[in-house]
């Protein structure tokens, strides 16, 4: 004990400073304990799980396009299992899970393994018996056509028909885009957006939306390879084939829906594969018409949070309207010894994100 004390004291500058530090640290510990106790003693209204960019494929590890990040294609399934087991073991079971898109990797298409890979991840998710809301990302479209996705296990829009009181509205877009909403608890609503509604990968070539997307791309990107960004830096980088945008029809629907939520004094969480705030992501990952979405979000009081994937490094920004923009770290670029998923505890005045591995803890007070 004495030995420890003296060597410890040797590393401290002075006894006075040591006791000052000790008193400060003790106060902080007690405050943190109080905060934890407050959180623990107050049961959340409900909780939900979030995971992004699993990109599973039964292939050897690889790298991203720039060779700056390793991609762990097989291990991503292990991390998905770990997340699911954690959610399953929670004292308060999550009401649902949000899968933010790119659940299997585009490489599956090359190996004719798309169906098998999808079955593998869906079986994995099914083990917890917690309902999953699936968002569609670019890798969904590398593997499947929009028609195939509509018929697949990745179409979770049917889930909302059982939980929303606005079934008519949720069906509004059945033919047009994969956008829907659901209300898991009174005064809370989630909106799933289709960020590839206008895109070269999510629309068939002879279609109005494909040609609209082509026009947008031609106006901003002259490269032969449209996955190659038009500029090396800045917001214009987002005009690449692996991104997309929201049709005017979808934006009008979102606006109407949020007006209704304002009237009902709801809190709304919007989710999409592509982020919409430039400070919440590397701009190369932004939705083409991110600004159109932002101006709608900002014209309604009900919006509290926007969650996205796509940028595997993740990001966070609270904008000037108090809306939290969370971009979740991608599972695919998460080393085997780490994790990348979160559980969100929803309260009357805030949401608390409990992150795992690369996903940080955050307290998100409503605007």
Ligand X SMILES: Nc1ncnc2c1ncn2[C@@H]1O[C@H](COP(=O)(O)OP(=O)(O)O)[C@@H](O)[C@H]1O
Give contact residues for ligand X (rule: CB under 6 A).
Answer: 64-65, 102, 138-139, 225, 227-229, 242, 310
d(CA 28, CA 270): 35
Q: Give residue 39's Cα distance to chain centre.
A: 24
Shortest distance in whole angstroms from residue 49 CB to ligand X = 21
Q: Smaller CB distance to ligand X: residue 227 or 360? A: 227
Q: Smaller CB distance to ligand X: residue 103 or 304? A: 103
Q: Smaller CB distance to ligand X: residue 76 or 343? A: 76
| Sign of the alpha-carbon torsion through 87, 64, 269, 323 | positive
Shortest distance in whole angstroms from residue 247 CB to ligand X = 21
Q: Smaller CB distance to ligand X: residue 228 or 299? A: 228
Q: What is the DSSP letter of 236?
A: G
d(CA 260, CA 116): 41
CB-based closest residue to ligand X = 227
Query: Taking the CA atoms of the chain, what radius of gyration do you get in angstroms?
Result: 22
Shortest distance in whole angstroms from residue 349 CB to ligand X = 35
Shortest distance in whole angstroms from residue 176 CB to ligand X = 24
d(CA 23, CA 19): 6
Q: Smaller CB distance to ligand X: residue 62 or 249? A: 62
Shortest distance in whole angstroms from residue 21 CB to ligand X = 44
Residue 244's nearest CA partner among 285, 190, 298 is: 285
Q: CA–CA distance from 166 to each of 146, 161, 191, 306 (Å)?
A: 24, 8, 12, 21
d(CA 271, CA 96): 14
Shortest distance in whole angstroms from residue 228 CB to ligand X = 4
As to burial, measured by CB atoms within 10 angstroms (0-12 exposed, 13-18 middle, 19+ buried), residue 292 is: middle
Shortest distance in whole angstroms from residue 80 CB to ligand X = 16
Q: Smaller CB distance to ligand X: residue 257 or 308? A: 308
Q: Smaller CB distance to ligand X: residue 118 or 251? A: 118
d(CA 361, CA 316): 11
Shortest distance in whole angstroms from residue 90 CB to ligand X = 29
Do 342 and 360 contact (CB within 8 A), yes or no?
A: no
Q: Smaller CB distance to ligand X: residue 228 or 295? A: 228
Residue 201's nearest CA partner among 192, 193, 210 is: 210
d(CA 287, CA 240): 10
């Amino acid at each position: 004990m004495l030995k420890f004390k003296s060597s410890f004291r040797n590393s401290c500058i002075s006894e006075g400073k040591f006791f000052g530090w000790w008193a400060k640290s003790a106060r902080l510990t007690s405050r943190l304990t109080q905060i934890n106790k407050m959180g623990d003693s107050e049961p959340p209204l409900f909780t939900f799980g979030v995971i992004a960019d699993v990109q599973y494929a039964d292939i050897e590890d690889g790298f991203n396009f720039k060779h700056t990040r390793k991609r762990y294609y097989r291990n991503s399934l292990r991390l998905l299992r770990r997340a699911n087991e954690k959610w399953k073991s929670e004292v308060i079971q999550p009401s649902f899970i949000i899968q933010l898109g790119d659940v299997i990797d585009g490489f599956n298409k090359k190996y004719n393994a798309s169906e098998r890979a999808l079955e593998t991840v869906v079986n994995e998710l099914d083990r917890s018996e917690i309902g999953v809301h699936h968002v569609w990302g670019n890798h969904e479209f590398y593997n499947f056509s929009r028609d195939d996705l509509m018929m697949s296990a990745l179409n979770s829009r049917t889930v909302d028909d059982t939980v929303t009181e606005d079934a008519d509205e949720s069906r509004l877009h059945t033919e047009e885009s994969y956008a829907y909403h659901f209300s898991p608890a009174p005064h809370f609503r989630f909106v799933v957006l289709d960020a590839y509604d206008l895109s070269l990968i999510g629309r068939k070539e002879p279609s109005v939306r494909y040609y609209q997307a082509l026009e947008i791309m031609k106006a901003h990107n002259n490269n032969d390879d449209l996955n190659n960004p038009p500029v090396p830096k800045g917001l214009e980088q987002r005009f690449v084939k692996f991104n997309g945008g929201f049709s005017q029809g979808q934006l009008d629907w979102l606006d109407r829906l949020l007006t209704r939520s304002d009237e009902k004094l709801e809190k709304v969480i919007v989710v999409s594969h592509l982020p919409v705030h430039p400070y919440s992501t590397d701009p190369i990952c932004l939705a083409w018409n991110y600004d159109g979405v932002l101006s709608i979000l900002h014209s309604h009081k009900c919006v509290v949070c926007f969650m996205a994937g796509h940028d595997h490094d993740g990001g966070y920004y609270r904008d000037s309207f108090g809306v939290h923009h969370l971009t979740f770290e991608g599972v695919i670029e998460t080393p085997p010894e780490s994790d990348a998923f979160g559980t969100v505890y929803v309260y009357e005045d805030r949401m608390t994100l409990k992150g795992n591995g690369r996903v940080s803890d955050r307290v998100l007070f409503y605007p």
